[in-house]
């Protein structure tokens, strides 16, 4: 006799920068520094704009813009992790975005799984969270998805959709790029305007809901989640 099919669970896949944590003041500087350490000299052309891109993508683009060999990517990634750890140990603190701690608890209380879908590596994510005082234990790391080698965000969302097939998913993020990645995998998307983009800009995306932050918008988010959880249960 086989076990009965477990009920599908609802996974909230959280973006990190600009969503769980406020963006760092010098969000882009670390990438250039990591590549410069890998090549041993200053970059000729600066690192392109970074909001909403994966770590992997930013490094690929900067290597290409500077006509540098693609096989420098892994060395630059190692330097990026190390620089993040140095910043963390040096007291470069991020702030937790408004309402996040209560939202995580409210979701967990309802049986929703809090997990991560981010363009950062797992190490960088952990350093940033610990620096900000956000408990990494609040997340299911086994069902979290990272972008340290992903060339585009859609690669991460497609990986999440494949591995969590049969579960219910929703992405919470702060950039139009989060929305494009979500669309590529057919995952609904909630946009929160705590990062670089305004609520008006985020309304241009496919988001099922746009909120200013989780402090004011939690009840609306819970309504959306309740709608997803009750699908097929009637
Ligand atoms: Mg973000």
Q: What are 32-63's pLDDT values in tens digits?
A: 999 999 999 999 988 877 777 888 999 999 99
Calculate the CA 89 to chain-centre distance.
22
**Residue 11 pLDDT grade (very low, low, confident, very high; cuts 50, 70, 90):** very high
Longest Cα–Cα distance in the chain? 65
Q: Note the pLDDT of residue 179.
A: 96
Q: What is the CATH number of domain 10-23+95-229?
A: 3.40.50.1000
- CA of 51 from ligand 1 middle (Å) equals 7
- CA of 178 from ligand 1 middle (Å) equals 7
pLDDT at residue 26 greater than cutoff 80: no
Q: C-alpha angle with apex 177: 176 to 183, nearest 5 degrees? A: 90
- CA of 116 from ligand 1 middle (Å) equals 11
Q: Note the pLDDT of residue 108.
A: 96
- CA of 233 from ligand 1 middle (Å) equals 33
Taking the CA atoms of residue 101, residue 107, residue 112 and residue 116 in that order, the dihedral angle to the nearest 10 degrees is: -30
- CA of 89 from ligand 1 middle (Å) equals 22
Beta-bridge partner residues of 113: 11
How many other C-beta atoms can be found within 10 angstroms of the C-beta atom of residue 4?
A: 6
- CA of 104 from ligand 1 middle (Å) equals 17
Please report, for the chain, the start and end positions of each structural domain, with discontinuous segments joined by +.
Answer: 10-23+95-229, 29-89
- Residue range 180-207: average pLDDT? 96
- CA of 123 from ligand 1 middle (Å) equals 16
Q: Which residues contact 3 (CB under 8 A, 6 or more apart)?
A: none
Q: What are 213-232's pLDDT values in tens digits?
A: 999 999 999 999 999 877 54
- CA of 17 from ligand 1 middle (Å) equals 4
Percent of the chain having pLDDT more than 90?
A: 74
- CA of 88 from ligand 1 middle (Å) equals 19
- CA of 172 from ligand 1 middle (Å) equals 9
Q: Note the pLDDT of residue 54.
A: 87
Percent of the chain having pLDDT more than 70?
A: 93
Instruction: Tell me how far apart the alpha carbons of residues 197 and 210 are, in angstroms, rounded to a whole number.
Output: 11
Query: What is the pairing mode between strands 113-118 and 145-146?
Result: parallel
Q: Which residue has the higher pLDDT, 7 or 5?
A: 7
Q: Pick from 218, 190, 225, 220: which is nearest to 205 by CA?
A: 190
Q: What are 73-104's pLDDT values in tens digits?
A: 999 999 999 988 888 777 777 899 999 999 99
Q: Note the pLDDT of residue 150.
A: 82
- CA of 120 from ligand 1 middle (Å) equals 10
User: What's the chain's average pLDDT?
Assistant: 91
**Residue 152 pLDDT grade (very low, low, confident, very high; cuts 50, 70, 90):** confident
- Residue range 160-176: average pLDDT? 96
- CA of 232 from ligand 1 middle (Å) equals 31
**Residue 233 pLDDT grade (very low, low, confident, very high; cuts 50, 70, 90):** very low
């Amino acid at each position: 006799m086989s076990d009965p099919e477990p009920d599908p669970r609802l996974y909230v896949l959280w973006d990190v920068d600009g969503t769980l944590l406020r963006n760092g003041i010098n969000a882009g500087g670390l990438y250039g520094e990591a590549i410069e350490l890998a090549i041993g000299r200053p970059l000729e052309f600066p690192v392109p704009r970074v909001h909403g891109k994966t770590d992997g993508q930013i490094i690929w683009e900067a290597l290409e813009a500077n006509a540098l060999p693609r096989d420098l990517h892994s060395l630059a990634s190692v330097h990026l992790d190390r620089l993040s750890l140095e910043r963390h140990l040096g007291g470069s603190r991020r702030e937790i975005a408004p309402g996040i701690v209560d939202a995580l608890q409210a979701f967990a209380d309802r049986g929703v799984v809090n997990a991560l879908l981010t363009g950062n590596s797992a190490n960088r994510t952990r350093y940033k969270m610990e620096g900000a005082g956000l408990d990494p234990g609040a997340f299911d790391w086994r069902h979290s998805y990272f972008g340290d080698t992903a060339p585009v965000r859609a690669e991460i969302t497609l990986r999440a959709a494949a591995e969590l097939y049969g579960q219910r998913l929703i992405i919470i993020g702060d950039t139009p790029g989060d929305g494009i990645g979500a669309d590529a995998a057919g995952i609904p998307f909630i946009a929160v305007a705590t990062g670089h983009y305004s609520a008006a800009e985020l309304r241009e995306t496919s988001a099922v809901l746009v909120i200013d932050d989780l402090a004011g918008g939690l009840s609306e988010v819970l309504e959306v989640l309740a709608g997803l959880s009750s699908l097929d249960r009637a």
